[in-house]
Structure formats: structure tokens, C-alpha cells
Structure 1
């Protein structure tokens, strides 16, 4: 283990020793770099107030709109894969993306809190960003702020393994009107328009995008029905067959700013979204899903209300609906259960509607010597107000599915879940104490009180030391929790997973150390090491025979450790080299074996070259290695892979046109993400082969 930690440090030392002397960045060059890559020196997510990134009491990353353009990314998943300590995996169901932070994996990924402009995007049914996700476009993203590690002391539930905050563009960041188009592989095409302007004290920003893709068509060689066929002596499986991952998309945002007020309105629709590798890991080439989300938030803040005082408040509303316009086949036509044959397949799908109201307020006070205090309160009203169940089966007394003829509405007879409502009140306190010129101690605690499972209190403490003019060291401790989702608590009449109303939250405690070293004016190095312990993990436990499926329960724990190393080197005035390496190892305490799924080693590197007049070429390497299987899964480890991407784009200048071209997976590597144990899809989930995208943007 010591060798693994020493290797990145040795490489960093050798890099410093052999780096040729490059041009020292003067003020003009620094301004030039800021135009190309944006301002990455500050962050707000760590404490709720803007501060220097290197001194923030968290292990954090900032990605700007300019940085996203430089890497040629077209979707949020491509951006997050470049963040140290994060690997983007996929679930069989709709191929929904899973953001694995520091090796923490689950099938729904509720351990990662996603925010948009500081407001949670969490859906109540699964407790995550929603399985009917269908990607997130990047054109309207101003910056992404990421915390790796616990954030519940400030953000409450689900800020467990990390927090991702997407900040949309304001009028100044858009700067005029822009029209863009993109087309590429898998019959992918999209078009968008953006506008940003000022009318007196009113800032106006707007964005509208429409897109469509048929999705990649990689082949699933065998699926869950393949194994069932062998047992039941049927031939119902549709494997080998292609995954089903196409969708239609509409995205819209409106932002209005007036003095101390800010209003954001958003709409995201995904229609005809394919079932991926199948809802039950059995291929379904015709099933389609649809989701709609509408969000709005109104905030007011005054940082100088009175001497030493700052205050602010936010009210937000979030509406989310998931609909199934085409029947989902849990199991394909010809499937046989001990209770009978399903000639049309076993069909079942849930529809849900939910609304979330959130109120929050904060006050800061810096009137004490060397202290900055922040106190906040909030109330959330979380209402899954509508559920509907359509299927062609019923359950017998033992919980076995029985064929019941044509698909019908069973919402009143055997619903998958009844409507549920949860209310939450919380209060938090945070103090930033600079007790010496070069030492700052940040301490905070938050208490959340839930109407259905009680209260939880989560503290954090962080010591930040400016050890030298060019070195900052941090020592961090935090505790976080994840609230049980409505599905985990209240699912009934589910042939696969049943809810448990007595669930308690998952908890995690994390200890971290981090170092930021400005080794030279043109070379930045960051190192973080961590150790965590998870308790009361929510998992499924098999139901007693002969009942099928399983029930959610708090069972077992997990501990892990690892490190992350980052480097950014402006080798010349026109060449930037950047990259990161992450290592993690996580152990399931119930088995004493590797927790599985997440890579032990993850290496990312990028080179950006500005050449000719106003052009940039970028190349990226992504290496994912050493993914173990969890205990009980006898398949060999998931194969490693390396992908190379190339992008070319024109930089915005006086020219009204911008052009870009990107090739992803240039060498057509066979990229696969692990399918869940016990290997219902034996050869895992194949991802996209080589893909090419072209885009053009016209600025008016």
C-alpha cells in the first residue's frame, strides 16, 4: 500500500526535476489563459460563500464553461469523467449514468447529491437524479463545482459521497444571441439558441435546445432471460441483441436577475427513452419511457444588509413526472414462470408524479474578530402525490406473479406504491475561525428532522493551513447521511424489490488530508488522501422461500481508502498539459471482500494546443483499470480499457462563427461497464464505439 501512495509522489518529483524552463506567465498571459479556461480559482459550494478554491475547507474541483468547450464535451457525463475521484458508470435500466465517487457504488446512485443553482435535483421515487435521465447538455452550463467527500453538514440528505452543483449561465456569460447546431454518430442531432442581455437593472438569460439520438447499438450477447431459458427450457430471450438507448430531448432555461433578486426557471423533457439493457436486465427493444421535470427558484441575498451582516433566502418548486408511453416488458414474450406462461411477455410499469417545495434562509455575521458565522434554516415539503400501476399479472398469496391477461390498471387493486409525503425541517450552524494568520478552522453541524424516520445530526470540521506562500494543507473530517428513498421504504407488490418502512438512513464518516502546491508559476499540483467508514447500508435481502424477490434492509458496512493526484502545467504559452490519477480500495465488511464495480485505478490526461490563429486542438486519454466483482459474483474481473478522444475547435473572437469537431473513442476500444451481480448480463454493459460529432455556432 505504501508503494501505491508513494508512486504518484515520486512521479510528481521526477516531473519537477525534469521540466524544462518554460515562459513564466506574465499578467497578460494569465488573462489570456483565463479567457481560454475561465476562472477556476474560486468556489462557493464549500461554505455557501465565495472563497479561494485552494483555501476552501473541502476537496473540491471547479470546471468552467471554457474548460468544457476545450475538452470538446457534449454531455455532463463526459465532463464528470474528467474529475479526479469520479468514474461515470451505467445501470442496465435505461443505461442511466451512475456517478461513482471514491469507489462508492449502488444500482441507483442516491449517494451523490446533484444540485442545479444550489437546489437539489433529487427525485423522490428512487432518491437519485431520476432513472429516466437521458443526459444533460452542456451549452448552458457556466461552471460545475464538485465536492468529493461528505457535505451533509451544509446540504443535508444525500450529500454522502459528494456534491455536484451545476450553475447555469447568466446574461453576461452568454453575452448576446447564439445559435448552434450539432450532428454526429448514431443519428444524433440537436439545435439550440441562447440569449443574454441587460435592460436597465434587469439581466435576462434564456436557452432552448431540442435534440434526438437513436443511440449506440452495441450487442448484448446474453441477458437475464438467457439463464431463465436454460432453467425453464424456453427460448424467449432476445439476446444476442442491441441495447435500446435512443431518446428525444427538450431543454429550456430562463434566468432573470434584478438587483438582489434572482429567478431561475427550467424545463427538461426526455421522450421515447429506451430501456437500455432492460428493466430486469432482459432486453426490451420496444419499451419506451418519458420524464418531465419543471423547476423554478427565486432567491434574494444582501451581503451587506448591515455592518457585518449578510442575509439571503430561497424558495423553490420542483415538479417531476415519469410516464411509460409504450409498455415495458420486464420479461420478453414466451417467458415462463412456475405459475404460468406469459405469451406477450411480463409487462408492468409504474407512473409517478411528484412535487417538491423547499424554503431556506441564511444569515452570516462577521462582526466578531477572526470569525465568520453562518446560520441557516429550512423546510422541505416532499410529495409523491400520484402513483399508477399498469401490468398484465397479479400476485398470489406467496408473492408469485400469475398471468392475468391483457395489460390493465391495477392502481386500486395491487399498486406498486401508494402516494407518500415527507416533510423535513433543518437548521445548521457554521463558523470559519481564522485563529492565526495562516490557520483557519471551519466547523459546522446540521440537524435534520424527517416526518417519517426521525432526526439525524451531522458535523464537520476542517483545518486549513497556509504552510507557505505556495503550499496549502488541509485536514478534514465530516459525517453524512443518505435518506431512504420512497421506493426503498414504501414499494409494495413489486416482484423484484419490496420496501421497508422501518429503514434508517445510511451514514458515512470520512477523514481527509489535502495539499495544494504551486510548484512553479506554471505548474500546479494537488494531492488528497482519504479514509471512510459506511454504516447501515441500505441493501436488498432475499425474501424467505417461496416468495420471489427481496426486501430493503439496513445491513452491513463498508470501509475504504484512497488518494487523488492532480497536475496542471502550462508548458508553453500555447500548450497546457493536465491530468489526474485516482486510486481507491473499498471493502464490504459483511464479506471481507472487495466491494466491487468501481475502478481501483483511474488515470485521465489531456493536452490542449492553441495553434494558428484562434484554433485549439485537444486530445484526451482515459484509462480505467482493476474493477473487481463483489463477493458471490464468479465472473472474472471487468476488463480494463483505454479511450482516446480528439477535438478541434475555433476560439471565439471577432468572427461570428465557431466550429468544432470531436472524435470519441478514436481507436474503437471495447468499453464495458459492470452489470450488477450475480451477472444477469454475463458480459457486462457495452458502451459506445467510435463516434464523431460536428458543431457550428453563430453569434449575432
Structure 2
């Protein structure tokens, strides 16, 4: 047995020994009963699979309700997630897709975060993220968002690594009528939606439809990767300085039908988005990438299936089609590489994948001191199409490196093993898990769980967790937690071909992380709630594209030394007056790259978030938000100037029941027009980082009837 060495492990062991010394029967609190019955901000489901009090959940968790979303004036998921302590929302140069950086874990495609919609993963197997063409997630149809900071693989398997985000959409009961709304504002932004919830014969039915369009911000990229190529060839082909391409057209449709213990949900999304700072970090102002996503799931849950048994099952299907860009991706502009490409370097990949899953779980509560949950399931991930057209190939020249070579015309590389970027692949997963919630003493609960996942392509992985929760006083809860999680290699990391810059490796093993946490919740007065969490983690076998023995021959995906992190998160909310609520959080973290001993870089080591919600008069609500992002280091070996700190301020003013049931809202983001930027990755193809939107104004009207 390996000795306990880290301070977090010692603290956890001490708490566990203390608890076991005084085991007696515990009583379920009235507060937990209310949380189980009604949900709301004080309750969470993803920590154990059952609704329970956030304060007593065996995880460091945050719940954002529809009322919280209204108070902040947020219109997109990324805006409201920035309010979570320990979580910073950055952007990638590719499509300006969000990077959800939990506790200093910051990677380009962000596969270390699991996103669920109604408890089901929406992970793409190609890159391991939500999608290459994310395009945002609107909030009008969102009932609540549950977030866990820390590992969740003991319940959810792959990618529940740094954190888990569960978006729960509205049911017929949540909507209870019909709502219509429109919004317009800066960057030629226009959105319109309608949703309805009620009875459809014997069914509880909810429907949602939304369309949106924006030209996106026009933040300027001063230099890009083509700028450096121009310098080497003595040319001026680069389109920089020029604006990022972040326009998008969106369509979202959802249906939710419930009858007795059965619920059927269907979701459909269309996205067409710009490519941000370019597929090769060279500006590409015209390419637009279309994508469609289809979600289907049928669930059954019977909390009274038989005495002491709560059973549930799910069958779900998810299909994503990322079509080839139109016009085609311009990896580099006309005149690139000394004029070798008069029409530019054109590479136009796409991919389609489908996921099918069946699973069940059961909760047995017949023991006096235990609640046992167990389950199993099977999933197939199938990347069934990988089309590509291109006008180049890459030739590796020893001592020089990869060289783009013209093909003379655009050719269809699909299925051609010497040209295409990826061939279709399929993966199967079988899993089983068990969890025991043990009331081992009065005011003490121990949650122990383990899950085993077996993959057809890289084998099995087992991930346990332990969490001890102590009601130290009527208004104080203390927690000690330990967990292990993993993330599966993506198909791009395993099977990329014909791209010496990033060649796949089918022999990869999963990334792993071990996290120890201590947390405290204290409510000194009915109107003041505070939470403190301390964490330490160790990542191992981190997957990176590493230079080959001959660096001129490119890079191959490898398991490498990991990253160590530690930090503290403090949050508070205070009802200062019956018309004024103040809330905020402070996050501090340090992350170290094990290979170099230097800061891992990119993620903010300090972040402060503050929000005030003021009912300034009957029917009037005013909100102000300040977000301070600070102390971001460059990656090891990146010698560029430090990344500048920034502070943004947003305002929201809402007037209820204007001319009947109409509601009007005015919003200003980045009020002081700060030049806020998110870091670009080494080696610095975009040396001056990625600009965020400047000052923007929006007006929204909605009506309920």
C-alpha cells in the first residue's frame, strides 16, 4: 500500500479516522428533505445522482438558477459560467470557442471538462470537447446549471476530470405558459425565441425555438502566423492587421414530453460560425463552418419501483455533422510561401460522428445507515465520415521540417491514406459503477464510490472517490474529499495522419488526475452565506504533441509528465437589504508544469468576481458585475511579454410588467471599453493575444401569456 504523502491526503486520513471513532446513526435533516422535494439554488443532483443540499453534497459545487441568470443579464452560457469560483472562461484562436479553465487546467481543445445536458454527455470524440463549432448556448430555455469543480469520473467516467457542467433545460412545469422574446444590439446581433409549456393531451409538453445571428466583434489581430512566414520569404501576403472572424448564425429547437415515469427529449441545433483567428492561426475572414447536432433521449425513472428501490434507465443518441467550410478554409492567404500558392493554401476538412448509449442505475435505501447506488451501461462512439479537400500536401525535409507543397489543383483527399487527415474510426465502451452514501455517525456522512470503464481501443481504467461530510454545527458544514479521474484520448490524438505537426499515436493511455479537497460552508446569519474550498491536484500521463527525436520530422502525441496545482476559492452572498443582494468570489491558484518546474501558464492565478443586484423601485431591477482577471503567466519556454490583467464591468437594467406582461431589459457589457485579451498558445503565432469584445449594448423584450 502506498504511503500517504501529500498534505491533502494526510488531512483527509485524519478526518476519516476521527469520523470512524464515533460512528452512530445519523438523521436526515429537514433541509435535505426540502432540497430533495423542491430543488432550487440550495440543491444539486450531479454530486451523487440524487437531489440533495449543496452544502452537504460530497463535492465542491455551484448551482445557477434561472433567477440567477436573470439577475446577471447573461444571454449565453459562457457569460454566466464566469461567475463560478475557480472557473475562468477563455477562448481558443480556432473559432473563438470557449476554454473552460477549472483551477488552472488550461488546454486548447479543453477535453478535461465534461459537459452534460440533462445529465447526458455531449462530448465529441474527434477532439474530446463539446464541438469544434460550438457557437454558444442560449439561456432562455435553461432551468438551472449545476457545476462541480474537481473530479467526477467515479460517476460519469471519461472527461469528468477538472470539472463537470450539467445544463438542465426547462420542462412544461418550468415554463407553464407561453413566452416570446426578441433581442438586438451591438455587432448587428439579433435573436428571437418562443417557448411553451403545458398539457398536450395526457402529456406534459414543452417546446422551444430560437434563431439568432451576429456579425461578431471586430477585434484586431495585429500579427498572425503568416506574418512570420512573410518575414522569412520577404513577402507581404498576411491579412494582418485584420479583424477576427466570429460571426455566427444559430438555430436551437427542443421538445420535452413527459408521461408518468417516462420522459422523451429531442434537441436540434444548427450552427454556422466564423473561424476566429484562422484554422492555422492565419486570418481567414471568409470561411464559415456549418454544423448540425441532433440529440434524442428516452428516460425512465420510478422512485417507488418497489419498496426501497429507485430505478432509472436511459437510451440516448447524439449525432453531429461538421460540414466542410463554405468557402473553403484558407489555411494561409494567396501569395503564401513565397508565392507558391497564388490562390492560398486551401485545406477543407469536415467530420461526422454519432453516439449511441444505453444505461441504467438503481438506488437502494432499505438499510438504516446506507444508500447504495449502482449502475452499468454501454456506448458506441462512431466517427463515420472524415471528408477533406485540399490543394497541398506536406513533405518533411530532414533538417528543415514540414514543407507545404502545392498539388496544382484542389483534390478530394477523402479516404486517401496518403493525403487525408483522418480515417473513420469506432470505439466501444462498457462501464459499471457503485456508490455508498453511509451515515456513519450523527452528523457524519461518508460517500464512497468507484467506476470501471473498459474501452475497446485503449483498455480499462478504474476511478474511485471518497468524501466525508460533517455537520459541525447547525450553520457549519465541513468536507474532506479525495478522487481520481481520467480523460480518454481523442481520435485526433490517436489517429491523426498526414500532418507532421501533429501525428496521432494509437498507443496512448488516458490522462489521469488525483485531487484532494477540503471545504467549509458557514452561514453566520440567515442572510449571509460563505463557502471556502482548498484543493490540491496532480495530473499524470498528460497527452501532448511532442517533437520527434528528429524535430524536423514533426510532433507525435505522447503521454508526458503532468501538472501539479493547488489553490483556494472563497465565495459569499449577502442579503444586505431586502432590496439589495451582494455576491462575489475570489479564486487563487498555482499550477506547475512537472517537466520544467515552471508555472504551467495561461490560466489566471488570481480572479475576483463581484455582483450587486438591486431592486431600486417596484418593477425595476438593476445589476452590476465586475470581473477582474489577473496574473497569467506564459507557458514554459514562451518568452513573450507578460499577459496584461483586465477588469470588465457589465450593467443590466430590467423593467417588469411594462404594458401588461411585457418585460424590457437593457444591457451594457465591458462598460469602460477595456482592451481585454485572452492568451494565445506558444509558440506565439498570434504574438499579441486574442482580443475580447469592447463595449457593447443590447436591448431585450419578452412577454409571458
Instruction: Check whether the contact 2:394–2:499 (CA below 8 A) recurs between aligned residues.
Output: no
Q: After TM superposition, give the deviation of residue 495 of structure 1 in Å.
A: 4.8
- Assess if the C-alpha contact under 8 Å between 2:154 and 2:451 holds in 1: yes
> What is the CA-CA distance between 1:201 and the residue it aligns to?
4.1
TM-aligned CA deviation for residue 397 of structure 1: 6.4
Q: Tell me by how many angstroms 1:402 deviates.
A: 1.2
Q: Out of 465, 480, 484, which is 1:479 matched to?
A: 484
1:396 positional shift: 3.5
Describe how 1:206-605 pairs up with structure 2 within 5 A. Answer: 206-271=207-272, 273-323=273-323, 324-336=325-337, 341-396=340-395, 398=397, 400-413=403-416, 414-545=419-550, 547=552, 549-605=554-610
CA contact (8 A) 1:173 1:196 kept: yes
Query: Which residue is equivalent to 1:126?
Result: 127
Greater shift, 512-521 or 546-555, is seen at 546-555
Cα 1:690/1:513, change in 2 over 3 Å: same
1:181 counterpart residue number: 182
Q: Mark the runs of 5 or more structure 1 residues left unpaired by the alignment.
A: 1-30, 32-36
* Distance in 2, Cα, partners of 1:647 & 1:454: 51
By how many angstroms is 1:351 displaced? 1.2
CA contact (8 A) 1:201 1:259 kept: no
Task: Measure the CA separation in 2 of the matches of 1:546 and 1:51.
Answer: 53
Summarize deviations over 1:227-266 as a string: whole Å, max 9, x none. Answer: 1111122211111011110011001110001110111100
Deviation at 1:651, TM superposition (A): 3.9
Q: Quick check: 1:622–1:644 contact (8 Å CA) kept in 2?
A: yes
The alignment of Structure 1 onto Structure 2 pairs a total of residues equal to 662
Q: CA deviation at 1:326?
A: 1.5
Deviations 1:604-644 (A, max 9, x none): 00000012211210000000000000111001221000000
Return the offset for 1:329.
1.1
C-alpha contact 2:365 2:372 (8 A) present in aligned 1 = yes
Q: How far is 1:199 from its partner?
A: 3.8
Whether the aligned pair in 2 keeps the contact of 1:582 and 1:601 (CA below 8 Å) is yes
Find the counterpart in structure 2 of residue 622 from structure 1.
627
Q: Deviations over 1:553-591 (max 9, x none)?
A: 101110000010000000010000000000010000101
The answer (yes or no) to whether the contact 2:450–2:465 under 8 Å persists in 1 is yes
Report the counterpart of residue 73 of structure 1 in structure 2: 74
Contact map agreement 2:280 2:331 (CA 8 A) in 1: yes
RMSD of equivalent CA atoms = 1.5
Equivalents in 1 of 2:672, 2:575: separation in Å?
27
Q: Give the Cα separation in 2 of the matches to 1:41 and 1:306.
A: 29
CA distance, structure 2, for counterparts of residue 698 and residue 369 of structure 1: 50
Q: Retained in 1: the 8 A contact 2:609–2:626? A: yes
**Could you tell me how far apart the structure 2 residues matched to 1:396 and 1:89 are?**
34
Structure 2 equivalent of residue 14 of structure 1: none
Q: Does structure 2 conserve the Cα–Cα contact (< 8 Å) formed by 1:479 and 1:508?
A: yes
1:685 matched to 2:684: no
Report the Cα offset of residue 325 of structure 1. Answer: 2.2
Q: Tell me, in whole angstroms, the C-alpha distance in 1 between the residues paired with 2:436 and 2:656.
A: 43
After the TM superposition, list the runs of 4 or more consecutive aligned residues in structure 1 that deviate by more than 3 angstroms: 395-400, 543-549, 651-655
Change (3 A) 1:601 1:546: closer
Counterparts of 2:696 and 2:472, CA distance in 1? 47
CA 1:54 to 1:652, structure 2 compared with 1: closer, same or farther past 3 Å?
A: farther
Structure 1 residues 227, 401: closer, same or farther in 2, change over 3 A?
closer
Deviations 1:69-122 (Å, cap 9, x if unpaired)?
110001000000010000000110111110000000111000000000011010
Give 3-state SS (helix, strand or coil) of 1:539's partner: strand
* Aligned-pair CA distance for 1:521: 0.8
What is the aligned partner in structure 2 of residue 148 from structure 1?
149
Provide the TM-score with structure 1 as the length reference.
0.93
Q: CA, structure 1 residues 306+653, in 2 after alignment: closer, same or farther (shift >3 Å)?
A: farther
**What TM-score comes out, normalization by structure 2 length?**
0.92
Give the Cα separation in 2 of the matches to 1:503 and 1:325: 34
Paired position in structure 1 for 2:654? 649
Q: Distance in 2 between matches of 1:406 and 1:71?
A: 52
Offset at residue 405 of structure 1 (A): 1.9
Distance across 2 between alignment mates of 1:493 and 1:365: 52
Q: Is the 8 A contact 1:400 1:547 kept in 2?
A: no
Determine helix, strand or coil for the equivalent of 2:319.
strand
Q: Distance in 2 between matches of 1:371 and 1:408?
A: 63
CA contact (8 A) 1:38 1:66 kept: no
Are residues 625 and 397 of structure 1, via their aligned partners in 2, closer, same or farther at CA, if it must alter by over 3 Å?
closer
Change in 2 beyond 3 A, CA 1:366/1:121 = same
Q: Tell me, what secondary structure is at the counterpart of 1:497?
A: coil
Equivalent residues of 2:431, 2:453 under 8 A apart: yes
Residue 546 of structure 1 and its aligned partner are, at CA, apart by 6.9
Aligned mates of 2:191, 2:500 — CA distance in 1? 39
Q: Which residue number in structure 2 is paired with residue 108 of structure 1?
A: 109
What's the counterpart of residue 82 of structure 1? Answer: 83
Contact between 1:400 and 1:495, CA under 8 Å: does it hold in 2?
A: no
